[in-house]
């Protein structure tokens, strides 16, 4: 059971380049989430998706684009990377809404992104 | 969205009971209280969730008073491997909002 995976695990890019972080889950969970984690800020929600073709903004969506054409995949794209987007990015999934008391979120191992 | 307040850090020794309190004064009627644990270089992991009174599982207990404006995560007899960041969340919508959490350091 692979669970939830992220790729790449580490990425170094330059300012202005487009970068796509991949997230894949094998549980057929409806909900998927992208967070970024920076020192002093804990985890902050970037985007989330309640189902295929349904996405919504979180706390810090600016500079990011998501898509969800298939239930199992939820890629996150930085259209023009900036140094402030240097962070650790976590993907998560849940069967149903993680905050409703009916389910919990399962997190991937994270992607460490450095923008030079 | 309800906002939570937790201590930034706590220290303990192996074998002691650790209680981490979270304040959530604006909790709504339908909000659940959820705690996650995060080890370095890993994603958060669900520990426990509750709505009121007391919930216990194999890892921890969660105490919620009647007014639900706070909650306490109790870790019995901690070990070095319990050193981690602990997040308290309250929400009933699609998305969870993580704060900065409480960094627990367990010493031998």
Contact A104 B46 (CB under 8 A): yes
For residue A87, list its beta bridge partners: A113
Chain A residue whose CA is closest to B49: A101
CB nearest to A50's CB, from B42, B94, B100: B94
Nearest to B43 among A44, A59, A107 (CB): A107
pLDDT band at A6 (very low <50, low <70, confident <90, very high): very high
**Taking 70 as the threshold, does the pLDDT of residue A69 lie above it?**
yes
The Cα–Cα gap between B72 and B65 comes to: 9
The burial of A83, by beta-carbon neighbours within 10 Å (0-12 exposed, 13-18 middle, 19 or more buried), is given as exposed
pLDDT at A36: 96
Q: What is the pLDDT of residue B101?
A: 92
Identify which of B30, B44, B100 has the shortest CB distance to residue A41. Answer: B100
Going by pLDDT thresholds of 50, 70 and 90, the confidence category of residue A1 is low
- The size of the A-B interface in CB pairs under 8 A is 70
- Between A96-100, A103-107, B52-56, the lowest mean confidence (pLDDT) is in A96-100
Q: Does the beta-carbon distance from B44 to A105 stay under 8 Å?
A: yes
Highest-confidence segment of A33-47, A87-101, B87-101: A33-47
């Amino acid at each position: 059971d692979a669970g939830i995976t992220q790729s790449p695990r580490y990425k170094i890019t330059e300012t202005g380049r487009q970068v796509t972080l991949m997230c894949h889950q094998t549980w057929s969970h409806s909900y998927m989430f992208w967070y970024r984690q920076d020192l002093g800020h804990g985890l902050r929600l970037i985007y989330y998706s309640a189902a295929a073709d349904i996405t919504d903004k979180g706390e810090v969506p600016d500079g990011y684009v998501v898509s969800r054409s298939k239930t199992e995949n939820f890629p996150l794209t930085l259209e023009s990377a900036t140094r402030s987007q240097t962070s650790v990015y976590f993907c998560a999934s849940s069967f149903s809404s993680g905050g409703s008391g009916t389910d919990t979120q399962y997190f991937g191992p994270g992607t460490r992104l450095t923008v030079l | 969205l309800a906002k939570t307040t937790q201590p930034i850090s706590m220290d303990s020794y192996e074998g002691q009971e650790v209680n981490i309190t979270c304040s959530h004064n604006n909790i709504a009627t339908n909000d659940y209280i959820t705690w996650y644990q995060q080890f370095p270089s890993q994603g958060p992991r669900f520990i426990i969730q509750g709505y009121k009174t007391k919930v216990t599982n194999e890892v921890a207990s969660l105490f919620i008073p009647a007014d639900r404006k706070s909650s306490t995560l109790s870790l019995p007899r901690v070990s070095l491997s319990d050193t981690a960041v602990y997040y308290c969340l309250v929400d009933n919508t699609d998305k969870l909002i993580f704060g900065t959490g409480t960094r627990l350091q367990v010493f031998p």
